[in-house]
Amino acid sequence: MRLTLVLGAQFGDEGKGKVVDFLAANADVVVRFNGGNNAGHTVVVGDKTYKFHLVPSGAVRGKVCCLASGMAINPSVLVEEIEMLKRAGKRFKLLIDPRAQIIMPYHILLDGAKEKSARKKIGTTKRGIGPCYADRAFRSGIRFCEFIEPKIFKERLRAALPFKRRELASYGIRCPSEKKILKEFLPLARKLKSYEADVSLFIQKALKQKKRILLEGAQGFFLDNDFGTYPYVTSSHPITGGALIGIGIPPGSLERIIGVAKAYCTRVGSGPFVTELKGKLANFIREKGMEYGTTTGRPRRVGWLDLVMLRTASRICGFTELAITKLDVLSGLRKLKVCYAYKHCGKEHREVPANTFEVEKCRPVYREFKGFKLPEKIKSIKDLPKEARIYLRFIEKQVKVPIKIISYGPERKQTIFNR
């Protein structure tokens, strides 16, 4: 494993944190390249559960952890996570790219105000991610290198506040004062200043030194700002191209690109969901899979596995392998369904249409499978019931990508590598 990229292949919440923790055993460096604390990655080791929103999941194993330039960082949340890991006795090295954007209090207020006033809700986490990325595009954002220099930070804040006051006033909201923001943020800046480092340069040097690097994506392919179900998407690019830009590395560096997908599918917030289930079966899967947002606590919408989505994600991201998670949640069901095509106006689609409004009108074409019951002890794919192996082989055949990692429970040890 020289440079391995782990991406969500669905709508996020696929179990990337567990997969990254599993792979981090053989990594030297773990890098987050997109998003902010709208992400929620969970790692379970024995009786301890670690929930991350910013720090890469590799921190549990004491790896070098990097927050790259493509990220939006809430300093308060980051300090809380660092202190949580220190209390847990975890030692790790943290590097923060100077180009990363800082989420300000007015970003969070704007995020909530825009969502509340929208006629059609996007389903934002209201963590200020979208407004922060918007400021980056408008060239008015505050970067980490500016945030940690008090004089520059004050100048940048003073330049931004008049515009933010007017924008928030249009929603009837008062903007926090400069004094209040500085009182909260200057101590945070002092705590984080020592972590500054050029992550792009660090990774380039690490590659030359033959270090093993793991890239951890947040969110999932269909929340990508360009290729997802726009406008029901995030504000960054959780795809292969987004990783290259978000860190600052050339495409030839990538050795493995792992697409992570649940054995079924979930979505938080608004937007099309072709295989969505309702009623008792949906409630059963939601409760068994504990499908509630790590960041927001919101109940997730649930549905059958959608291979149309996986084909499109694989085509654009170039998956070299798949990791299937939460296979245990389907254990015990009498019958299972998998969507292998969409139908709309008499036409069959085997890839997700680019037009979101067309996707909303699509209907799933299913293949039905016999259910299975997983045994308590699983050491290899041979220990899986025949019906489970048939289910997994169908996924491989349809997506044309091998399944190399199978997760059948929340704990680190409940994972097998399919050779």
Catalytic residues: 13, 41
- How far is Cα 10 from Cα 6, in angstroms, rounded to an integer? 13
Residue 410 backbone phi and psi in degrees, to 5: -75, -25
State which H helix or E strand residue 370 sits in. Answer: strand 363-370
Q: What is the 3-state secondary structure (H, E, C) of 132-191?
A: HHHHHHCCCCCEHHHHCCHHHHHHHHHHHHHHHHHHHHCCCCCCCCHHHHHHHHHHHHHH
Q: Are 94 and 67 in contact (CB under 8 A)?
A: yes
261 phi, psi to nearest 5 deg? -140, 140
90 CB-contact burial (10 Å; exposed 0-12 / middle 13-18 / buried 19+): middle
* Contact by Cβ (8 Å): 304, 364: yes
Three-state DSSP class for residue 246: helix
247: Cβ–Cβ under 8 A, 6 or more apart, which residues?
A: 31, 33, 68, 69, 70, 199, 200, 203, 215
Place of tokens 């567990």: 18
